[in-house]
Every structure is written in C-alpha cells, then in structure tokens.
Structure 1
Amino acid sequence: MEKKAALYIRLSAEDENEGESDSIKNQRDLLHSYLANHAEFAEYEVLEFCDDGFSGTNFDRPAVKRLLDMVKRKEIPCILVKDFSRFGRNFLEVCDYLDQIFPFLRVRFIAVNENYDSNKSNGRSIGMDVAFKALIYELYSRDISEKIRSVQQAKFKKGEYLCSIAFYGYARSTEKKNSLVVDELAAAVVRRIFSMACESAPLRKIAVTLNKEKVPSPLMYRRANHTDKSRGWKVAGEQVVWTFMAIRRILSDERYTGKLVSRKRTKVDISLKKTVALPKSEWIVVPDTHEAIVSEEMFQKVQSNSKTKSITGWTNQPKHIFYGKLKCAHCNHSLQRKLLRKEPFYRCEAGMAVQNEQCQSVKLSEQTLTQTLLSAIDAQIRLIQCSLSKEGRLEKAGDAITKLQKQVKEQRAMLDKWKLAKILAYEEFCDGKIQKDKYLKRKEEYSESISSAEALILRWEKAVNQENLQIQKDTELQSCQRFASATELTREILDEFIQVIRVYNNGAIEIVWNFKDYINTCIPQ
C-alpha cells in the first residue's frame, strides 16, 4: 500500500458562513502541524477530504464517501481527523469503523485532539473511553438538533420566513430579516393564474397559454434574477416550462393569501435525510405575515371550482412504483400517471404544456410497461446466469487470487530474507569480517533485490484488489437471480436492475440498466 495520509475535515451543517469558515482552516492547520511534528509522515503523500456544511449524524457526505471508497480499494493506509466528532457523530457507525472495518483493512486512524492512534492500541479493540466519547458526541448532536428545531418552530410561530429562497411571487426583504415582500413582476403572473382558474379554465390550458406567451416559469424567472443558486433540487433540463403540476402547486398554496405555512414535513430521525408529511393539524399557520397577492375569497373560490377541486392535498397521494425512473425520451421530463376508464397510463405532461408534437405522442399503458419490463428483467437474469456459468468468472477470479496471494507470501519471505542479509552484512562489516568495498557491493545487491520484491508485492496486491472488485460485481449480479421468474413488478426489483426508463413517441422503450446491458437493445412495444 502506497504511503498516503488522508486528512478528513468537516464543518457542521448548521454553520451558515459563506465559503470555508475559520473552523475548516483551524482543522487544516492542526492536522498539518501534527504531520510536520512527526517525522514518520515525511515521505507521505497528503490528501485532503473536506465536507463543509454537512452534518456528522450520518455518512451521507460527498468527501467522506470518496475517502471510504479509496479506503476500501486499499489506496489509503492512514486517516487523520481533529477529533472523533469530525469523522462522525453516530455512535454505532463510528465505533464500527474504529473497531472492525479499519483494523480489517489495516488502516491507521488518528484523532489528534483525542490523543488517539490506532497503531498504539497493540491489537486491542477500542477502549471504553473512545466508545463513551463517540456516544457523547452523538447525544450532543441530538441535543443541538432538538434545540435548533425548537428555535425554528418558535420563529415559525412568529411568522418568520426561514427558507433561503422566496417562493414564486415574493422576494426576501432587504430591510427586515426573515420576511417577504411582493415581487410585482411574478405576482402579476400569480394573479393571472388565479383569475383564469376562477373563470374555470382547465389547468393544462393555463400552462399552455403561459408557454405560448413565453412567460418564464418560476425556475427560469429565478435564474434570470440570479436567485436560484441555493436551490437543492434537480430539474430535467436547462429549459423548464410551465406544467400542469406547476399551475396546480401555485393554486393550492395558501401562502398567497398572506399566511405563512410552515412545518408541513419533518425528519424521521436526525441521522437521516428522509422526511415525512405531517397532518394538517400539526402545520404552523400564521396569518397576515406578508402582503397577500390574492384574496382569501378568490383562493377559496378556486379550491371549490369543479375543475380544480382536487388541488388541495395532492402532495399526499401515494407515489407509483415508477416514480423518478420513467422519463420522456424527447424532453427528459418525468412521465405522469393518469387514469383513463380506470386504466392507468403514463404520458408527458411537460410536452402537452408546450404543445410539443413528439412529447404529445408519448403515451404508454401501465400494463404494457409492466409486462415489457418483467420480460426484459427475466431475459437479463437468464443472460447473466449464462454469462457467469459459461465464463466461470467467479471460479477463475478465485483461482487467480489464490495464486497471487501465494506469490505475495513467497515474495514477502524472500523480502524478509534479503532485509536480514543486509543487516548481517552490515554487522560483519562493523566486526571487521569483510572489507568496505565487499560490504558496499553486497548492500547494493540486497537493496536492488528488496526494491524489486517490494515492487512485485505492490503489483500483485493491486491485482488481488482488482480481482476482489470483480468478484464483488459478479456476486452482486449473481444476487439478482433471486428475482428470476418474478410475476409481479415491485419497486425493489426496479431499484435493483434499472436506473432509468425512457419512452419514445413511436412506442419504444429504452432501459438504462444499473450494470452491463446483456440485451443491448431497445425493446419495442
């Protein structure tokens, strides 16, 4: 394993400073100072992994993911952090890494401020002091999170707006903190949408009208005003248009009546990003917090209109199993599920809104889609099984690893032999048993043999790692066979096999698999 030292630096997600904070700088200075004061790291290549603005309650952080991937590939033998809490605040996960994973992978872990160095543990598991510190960090994190949540709720009840982006029709006030002011250009569009809805205009017609007149959609409007930089969600493409869903979202938002509606969702647990919808009785609703764009009477009229009466509560509808995976091949927007005579089908709502001929023709019944995917998945499973058994990849990789490990073991024995011979030659020279020129010649020969052995060992160990990765991939493919002959398509099967499904206007389906495409073709209807 190459000599590399990974410095991991993290700043809590609660910090709102722009750019790298002083805390990040202090951590970096501390870790570099530690390396400078320990001569053993003089020849180490130093790598830095920084998560600025990420919580330590889970390991869903970009930099720590890259670090752990390199650790699993045995590319990093040493990790340094300021203290255990920088690495993570989840007691069970931190202890699992320190006590099981890192020792197994022969990774040295150093927490500078905790005076902890796994190399000095002499093979023992982590002590009670380390375990207690990790537990205290987790409890501290939970306590801080609860306090922050309490403060946020108190501010919500005062009518303070805490989101970084103002919702469409408003802008954040530059004079009063955590408050909103009307953005007249966008507000005019909102009033027009409500006015058309009051006149019983179908939602799709409203979207089509706005797109024909080239009125910027909410996201495009924010981009034009450079107020979308803090946006954390993804969109289908660069051009985002008005859709049926966007119109419905605006018409169902009672914040346009001057109310502030908060705490509609909450986290399942502080260590998870997943949130759940709260019942309306638990929402925090504060009236008259900002200037209304539409009156309460107009809002209620829109809700009671026969063409828009299904608006309220639409976000609580259950998601279908293809949610997030089914895309229009022409515009990359997600297909929407619809019912026609109680038969579900999918179509491109974005294409309908912009009157795009290609997208308008994208339509697929759920039954056809399900049967096609089941057949394609079954074919993939059979081809995977045939490929693995025909090529005997698992057996070949296992044999290759056994052979390589034997070579490494033999070469290590020779390496130890040459190192000992080099030491003995030096002792003989010191004792006057051999002349200096003879000692220097032997030293040079032994040094060359040692360097050659070390290079071979490094090359063979890399080859072992590559074979192990191949075995892991093949084992994952082999595990897919548990879904052979499945008669019902589930979300679990879709997540296991399929990354995305693209539907074309000629009825063809393109499947992007999570692994090598063994069919390597589009499946026509």
Structure 2
Amino acid sequence: MARTSRKQGKAAEQTTIPAMKTALYVRLSNEDNGGRSEDGIDNQLELLLDFIRRLEDMEILPGNRHKPSGRKVENRKDTYIPSGAHVPSGKKVEIIETYVDNGQTGTDFDRPGWERMMEDAKAGRINCIMVKDLSRFGRNYLEAGDYLEKIFPFLGVRFIAVNDQYDSEGEIFPHKELITEFKNLANDYYSKDISKKIMSAFRAKKEQGQFIGSKAPYGYILENNRYVIDEAAADVVKRIFAMKTEGMSAYKIAGILNQEGVPSPSRYAGEQGAKKYKNCGHILWQQEAVSRILYNRAYVGDLVQGKYNSSIYSRERRGKKEEDAWEVLEGTHPAIIDRNVFEQVQEIREKNRKAWKDRQGGPGYGNVLEGILVCGICHHAMWRNKEVRNGKVSYYFFCGSAYGHSQTKCNTSSIVDHKIFDMVLKQIRLQIDLAVEADSLLEQMKKSDTHVAVYQEKKEATGRVRNELGRYVYLKTSIYEDMKQGILTKEEFLAAKERYARKISRLETELNEKERELEKFEKYMGGENQWLKAFLDFRDAKELTREMAVNLLEKMEIFEDKRIHIRFRFRNEYEYLMSKLAERGEGCGRTVSG
C-alpha cells in the first residue's frame, strides 16, 4: 500500500473540521428605514453572502431563510477580503439563520432579532456571528465592548465584522483591539450626536407650535404634527365641561356618559382604527379620564410639552418636571373650549379639592394601610372614607371597585377601620413575641460548637468548588495554545473544549448554589436577621402606626366574611431561621400563619 504524504494527511485532517455554525445579523436603523442606502437589509445580506463566497466556494441552498432577495445591490465594494488576508484552506461555513432587526436603533441591544440570536448562541445553535460592520452590531461603546470582550468569548462565539476587517479569532483578519475600541467610541459619539440633533429638531418644531408626541388628546386628531378638531369627540368634550360648570362631579359625569353609551377615549380610539386600542371595547368612562380632560390646557388652544426629562440617546424618561418648567405655547391650534369656561372649571375644581381636604383632615384620618390593604375578591385597593353621624366621626374601609365605573363589581362589604387595625396589631404582637423567643434561641445556638462547625464546612465546600471551577477555566483557555503548538489536533481541541465547557457549566451552577446557601447562612444565622430586626424594633409599640405597617406588612386582603389574610415582610428570613432552629431541635413554642 502506498504511503500517504504528510501534506495529504494534513489536507484530509482539515476537511474534518466542523463548519462554523454562522448567524448573519443585519440591522436597518430608524434613519435609514425606507431608503435605498448601502446599509439596506438586502445590501447588507448580499455583502455578507458575497464575503462567504469569496472566503470559500460555498453553495447557498435554495429555500433557506438567508436566501437573498435578488435585488440589485448598489454601492457594492469588491474588496471585502483584503489582499494579504489569511484565509484558512478547507474552512467551512454553515449559515444557520439570518437575524433581522428592521427599523431598530443601534444605541442599545434591546432588539427582538438580536435577543433571539443571543438565545440561540446560549443554546449552542450558533458559534459564529457575522455582520457588515461594527455600526450594524451596535453604537453603544460600553455595551458593545462587553459583548466583544466578555460575552462572546464566554459563549465561545466567534465575531466577524466584514467591512471593518475584524475577526475575533484573528485568522481571516489580524487582531485589531485598539482599532475596534476607537471605532466603537466613534459610533458611540455618533449616536450621541444624532441624539443632540434630534432634540434640536424637536425644539425647533415645538417653537413652531408643532406637536412631537404620538397621540393627540381626546377631541383632536393629529395631522402633520398639528392638532385638528375631531368634531364627534369634541362635542363630548364640550358636554363634559358644561356638566362640570353645572356642579357635577367627575364621577357623576363619567356615570352619565356610560349610561348613554358614549365610547370612552380608549374605546373610541380603537373604533377609529388605532391598533394600540383595538381590544379596548370594554373600557368604560372613569372619573380619572374625565378629570384629565377638565385639566388639559390643549382644549383652549395651548400646546403643553416637555413635561418629562428624557434622552433620545438612552431612550429613558428621567422623571416629571415641575409644572412651571413645562413648555407652553398659547394659541397654537383651534380651541374646543372657551378660555373663560376653562378658567371657571379650574376654579370649581380647586374649590372642591380644598373643601374635600378640609372634610378629611380631622385627627386620625391618615390611612396607615394605604397601598397595603386590598379586596380579597377583586384585588382592588380598599379605600378609607369618613362618616359623620349625629356629630360622631368614624372611618371605614370599602372596596374601591364599588366607587369606580366598571362592568364587574365585587360584593365586599365595608368594615370599620379600628376593627381592622385591632386585628392587624394583634397579629403583629404575636410575630413580635415569636421574634423575641427566636432571637434568644439563635444567640444560644451561635455560641455552640456545632454552629461554628456547620458554618466552617459551608465555607470550605464553597471554596473547593470555586477552586475546581478556576482550574477548569484555566484548562479551557490553555488548550487553544496547545493546539497552536501542535500538542493537540483540531479534533482533540474541539472535543476538550466542549468537555471543559460542560464541566464549567456544571461547576458554575454548583458554585452559585453553594454561595447562595453560604450567603443565606451568614445573613440569616450569623449576621443580622432582617425579620428579627424588623419586628424587634417595634416590641414596645402600643398602636398600629404607618411606619409599623410599611416596615412589617407586605400585603393584606379582606374578604366578604370579614376574614383577613396578612402577608408579612421578610418571609424568607423567617422560614429559614425557623427551619434551622427546628433542625437543632430548638423550635419556637408557637407558629403564626400569614
């Protein structure tokens, strides 16, 4: 038998190298959407496919999701693979899928196509990502750097940016760490510059009286960034203001509109074709919607904008501004309500608000359970109201759904507030007694040799797993050098890499569990148990206060039969401590439900 030459053996060996399971990622920015720039979806895709064809003679199978559209590609370049680039012979590329984000900004990575691709990378479905250039990848310098330097290497994903001549493995293109960082920094600056220009354009539009939001107030429609009166809805707005000038409350106005079958603003928008509100046919008028209309200066022809601090670059809303900082332009569009009528309504609303505060401002009115007590049937907030009979003032709770306009109302009856307060205080006192007993037992247990031994064993077990993980991470990173030096073949390298990756994944899971258990033990048993601290702080309390309710109660539910379910805070700390005391045979003498 003839001997096989070393060259032939090497060639045969290279053909067995697994193909790169490649994802093609293309993104069209908001600015380019709808245009025919070289950054168009089809152009990006054709460039990547042409690069792969030049990289190797590869057949693109018909019917694949990455099949090009056949459109003529404009502004194409012929130098995707530069002269002198090292292209490994026999390298195979398997295109798994093309991931597309159409009309998505590059300033963050909150994009559906990108997120789906990263899920596939985590699942091992792909191990190579290919993009036209770094700007298609992302324009946020810091977050892009995290992907290139940490996330991709951790996932074992190769990253190739064709026009920037970047290959994370340095095979097709030489390593360009500094160039990559400066390019990303430039893209980051570009995004911030675009943000400034957009904000500047927005300011110019505001000064011209143009609306830059996405939805006009009820009673108007938006045409060319300006408010135009919607006559049908405007008639309803006029009725609302008229009823208010007659002394009707917002609640009563909403009830009349519902009785007459007048569509609520959400329902009306859906009937007019607004996709966002297409499923709002069941929404009725509520007093809040009426109040918003009565307070909105848009109905006298004024444009009010800039209520919130926000950033186009980060797409974050940064809190509401003070009212005197809002941007107001008077007389920018046709008015629905006469300015004198609007001012009259504001005076009525202010007078009613002051009278309500005067009625409710008596001693003891403060609702200590606000935001905590809800109806156990419909989960609506329980409201607290004042009642005066024969000069005697009392307060009671009732379900808020009975007050609002909704198609479903529960039958939870009202209950006098002091009865609830007494029941809650009784349960808190039981928890405090339990905490006092548990604290004493815990202090005794901390001094025992067994407690110290258990803690030491948990620390040592965590350290052993951490050291083993570090060893396998080192082995995984060192085998690449072994392959480059010829100690390992490509097949041996890939097999070892996969084996170490599985081991590392298992050890990471085990380490997380060990660290969580150690942290729990230190936090709940060795240090300051939050459940103990919270309840012991109120051991001398004689009455229920707002501070006590906020610190100790997470949620309360009241049912038709006056039954109350209380969920206390720090349940994890409580249950962990009780379980450890029970393991030592030192359980507390009573248990408290809730």
Both proteins in one fold, TM over 0.5: yes
The equivalent of 1:6 in structure 2 is: 23
Paired residues of 1:346 and 1:364 also in contact (CA < 8 A) = no
1:244 corresponds, among 287, 304, 316, to 287
Tell me whether 1:298 sits opposite 2:341 in the alignment: yes
Tell me whether 1:358 sits opposite 2:410 in the alignment: yes
CA distance in 2: counterparts of 1:355 and 1:25, whole angstroms: 50
Pairing 1:179-190 to 2, within 5 Å after superposition: 179-190=226-237
Q: Which runs of 5+ in 1 are unaligned?
A: 312-319, 383-388, 424-449, 489-493
Q: Which has the larger radius of gyration?
A: 2
Deviations 1:274-317 (A, max 9, x none): 33222333322222222212111222122111577659xxxxxx
Paired residues of 2:195 and 2:312 also in contact (CA < 8 A) = no
Paired residues of 2:209 and 2:332 also in contact (CA < 8 A) = yes
Tell me whether 1:94 sits opposite 2:141 in the alignment: no
Pairing 1:381-420 to 2, within 5 Å after superposition: none
Paired residues of 1:208 and 1:354 also in contact (CA < 8 A) = no
Superposition deviation, residue 464 in structure 1: 5.6
2:328 corresponds, among 267, 285, 306, to 285
Superposition deviation, residue 103 in structure 1: 2.5
Q: Which amino acid aligns with 1:118?
A: S
CA distance in 1: counterparts of 2:518 and 2:125, whole angstroms: 27
Q: Which amino acid aligns with 1:106?
A: G
Paired residues of 2:303 and 2:328 also in contact (CA < 8 A) = yes
Q: Which runs of 5+ in 2 are unaligned?
A: 1-17, 57-89, 355-366, 387-392, 439-453, 536-549, 576-591
Given the superposition, is the C-alpha separation of residues 6 and 38 from structure 1 closer, same or farther in structure 2, using an over 3 Å criterion? same
Deviations 1:292-351 (A, max 9, x none): 12111222122111577659xxxxxxxx9x99999877668x748878699998954587
Superposition deviation, residue 222 in structure 1: 1.0
Paired residues of 2:221 and 2:229 also in contact (CA < 8 A) = yes
The equivalent of 1:445 in structure 2 is: none
Tell me whether 1:258 sits opposite 2:301 in the alignment: yes
Tell me whether 1:142 sits opposite 2:192 in the alignment: yes
Deviations 1:497-517 (A, max 9, x none): x9xx89675466699x9xx9x
CA distance in 2: counterparts of 1:510 and 1:67, whole angstroms: 44
Superposition deviation, residue 151 in structure 1: 0.7
Superposition deviation, residue 164 in structure 1: 3.0
CA distance in 2: counterparts of 1:2 and 1:502, whole angstroms: 59
1:26 corresponds, among 43, 61, 69, to 43
1:487 corresponds, among 534, 544, 555, to 534
Given the superposition, is the C-alpha separation of residues 60 and 154 from structure 1 closer, same or farther in structure 2, using an over 3 Å criterion? same
- With the length of structure 2 as denominator, give the TM-score of the two structures: 0.59
CA distance in 1: counterparts of 2:38 and 2:172, whole angstroms: 37
Deviations 1:25-55 (A, max 9, x none): 3223323333343337745242333333332
Superposition deviation, residue 244 in structure 1: 2.6
Paired residues of 2:167 and 2:174 also in contact (CA < 8 A) = no
Paired residues of 1:331 and 1:351 also in contact (CA < 8 A) = no
CA distance in 2: counterparts of 1:44 and 1:369, whole angstroms: 65
The equivalent of 1:47 in structure 2 is: 97
Tell me whether 1:198 sits opposite 2:215 in the alignment: no
CA distance in 1: counterparts of 2:514 and 2:241, whole angstroms: 56
The equivalent of 1:38 in structure 2 is: 55
CA distance in 1: counterparts of 2:371 and 2:32, whole angstroms: 31
Superposition deviation, residue 69 in structure 1: 4.1
Using the aligned pairs only, state the percent identity: 31
CA distance in 2: counterparts of 1:172 and 1:60, whole angstroms: 29
CA distance in 1: counterparts of 2:91 and 2:414, whole angstroms: 61
Tell me whether 1:217 sits opposite 2:238 in the alignment: no
The equivalent of 2:12 in structure 1 is: none
Paired residues of 2:401 and 2:409 also in contact (CA < 8 A) = no
Given the superposition, is the C-alpha separation of residues 185 and 243 from structure 1 closer, same or farther in structure 2, using an over 3 Å criterion? same
Superposition deviation, residue 139 in structure 1: 0.7
- With the length of structure 1 as denominator, give the TM-score of the two structures: 0.65
